[in-house]
Structure 1
Amino acid sequence: MMRKKTWGIGPVAVALCALATGAFGEPIHTRPDEAVLASFDIIETTIVTQGETAVFTTRVRGEAGKDKPDATGRFEGSSVYAYVWPTTLDSGAIGFDRAQGIVALAVTFHPDFDDAAYGGVNRHIWHPHWVVLAKDAACGGGLKVVDIPKGAKPKVPPTWPNVPLLIDSPDYKTTFRSDAVQVEIPVSLITGIRGASFDGVASGLKVNGNLHAPLLCVSDVFKVASGNLSLPGKVSPQK
């Protein structure tokens, strides 16, 4: 059985919103924890630049991507599993309005709905998203994907999937190899990625059963690379 940590608003949201930029530590190494499901037991997290490509990598104790949420047959109340890299990037760097919240890259799997760009189908594969997170005490993990209020017309990137959330569905190369998940993104598409700070998280999210805001909550935190979401990693060129 997977041990699920349901963290209140204090430990998760406060640590993330602090966005500690003074710490260094690339890669972030993490002790294995037999109490965490092996596919989510993070042991190493990195973001490096290789020339003009930013490479996001998370290694786990087991087989990355092996475990997926059960299908419910409904959108409302359905679950999402995710490998997440929270960062100090500004939301303007990924095509949204500036200063909207905490920018994170997430590789997700959700069997009950599609949220690909341009109406594409992605419910049966692991796939990447940019998400903007904010504190919300209504969520078990203290954080939500930022909602877009009805009638609002915020700036969104071209691959926004037309859902009322600050979420983007770009088509980045995403690879699972044994114990690692890796995403490759052109540096030119992420303003400020060089020198940004980061962390690693394995988490569960849940769609609100009433389809009201908050629509998509961080519901469970399976493991945090730093242990306290202090964002100790620093994006640097690969040595």
Structure 2
Amino acid sequence: MGVTHNNPANSFKTKHAGGIEKSRTRTPSLEEWPTIFSVMSNYQAHFVRDNYLAIALLLVLGPRKEELIGLPWDELDLQNKVWYLPAERAKNGYAIDIPLPDQAIEWFTELKIKAGKSNYVFPARRASKSGYISHDTLNHALTNLFGKKTGKLESSTGDVLGEAGIKYFRIHDIRRSTRTIMSKNKVRSEVAEKCINHVKKGVEGIYNQDAYFDERVIAHQQLADQIAP
């Protein structure tokens, strides 16, 4: 009783589910970053200094956005130049010790002054249960510079990045930029993958536990030397 011989989903097409998901391919190049940072700096009334430094840290260190914006000060050892990201905060569930280049130490030192007594590197700018900035803060700030709406709000700048010759990209695309630049810097693939905390699947991932820390120190410092100017 009540059994139908027809598939009720037959009338639905791929478009009704939002279309076919496409992988992101946008990768801001090393040559584009001077322009990107210049525009961000020129519009600090709309893209505050904390956001600017967050983008620099995302690019140089290669973490996921959520790992950086929720970063508490007690994970950082600025004296020994290491960020100890624990498994419970790593998106993939794997802890990693991230070497900090000299420039990152300077940026974190500035952020420490700005953060005051907050337990977080990027304190919440309005009432928040988390204590740190919203997951949408960087996304909205970047989107605004591309002249796009953030929620119901119109852009306050217009497409200033586009007018500067920068094709639209998202915060998540920065990790791809990190990885690509390292590849062009001749960083070995397994080292570059570890720099962005990609974990190999299968047997190799189980038995190859080499953290490549010393090699990553060099890779991150090289990238920082390219980006900092």
What TM bracket, shorter-length normalisation?
under 0.3
By relative contact order (CA 8 Å, sep 6+), the higher-ranking structure is 1
Superposition TM-score, scaled by structure 1 size? 0.23
Higher strand share: 1
Superposition TM-score, scaled by structure 2 size? 0.23
Higher helix share: 2
